[in-house]
Amino acid sequence: LTLLHTPTNMQSVFFVAILFLVALAWPSTAQAPSSPIPISSSSYAFSRGSLSSATTVDLWIDLGCSDCLNDWPLLSQVYDKYSDDVRFNYHLFPLPYHQFAFLLAKSANCVALHGSPGDVFNFFDTVYTPSNQALIYNSATANMTYNEVMTTTVSKFVTDSSDSLSATDFLDFMASDYDCEQNTRYQFKNAALSSIYGTPMYTVNGVTITDGLSTIEDWTTFLDGLVSSPL
């Protein structure tokens, strides 16, 4: 007759302790995030207009997007008309199929951080000039490197938009300033968290507007009812 060996209580405790120590030493599969969670009350937007207004228009744009280029004159007209009554937040959402959209978005953040107040909106105007926009389309940059586009094209957009940021300083900041890169990533992540899937897209007081705002008359009808309503 063969008897099965039954471990004593002390052996059992020892065995469990060994398993616990092995578990502690085993590499965790959880990885630290590659960048901090993008939490900000501003969502890293560029804001102008009546910053204390109860009416807020959020605009998600891509600086390399032809649809945004087409809408920019209208959006500028809306801002000019309602700048005293409405808060306008501009969010950059560089779409991956626009080859140098992220570079343009990062450049905008660099201008915002190191240029004069308001220069970032001058940069938007410069980029959305049709002749300039044509220089950064996929077809125009197909045979250019990242550095070539930045040094020959985008740096000129910057100096045309800001009197306080030289091309040399811009290129230095683009290469070394952590916040220029990180803020651009945060903007992309915040757009994704907001269920933004294309550009241009708009929300008014948090409500997504998908159509019906294609003329200044449409915007006037829509916004007049909001800015004239008592709180």
CB-based burial of residue 129 (10 Å sphere; 0-12 exposed, 13-18 middle, 19+ buried)?
Answer: middle
Condensed to tens digits (0 to 9), the pLDDT of residues 30-47 reads 444 455 555 566 678 999
C-alpha torsion sign, points 202, 204, 207, 209? negative
**Mean residue pLDDT across the chain:** 87
Least confident window among 39-43, 87-91, 160-164, 204-208: 39-43
pLDDT at 8 over 60: no
- How far does CA 80 lie from the centroid of its chain? 23
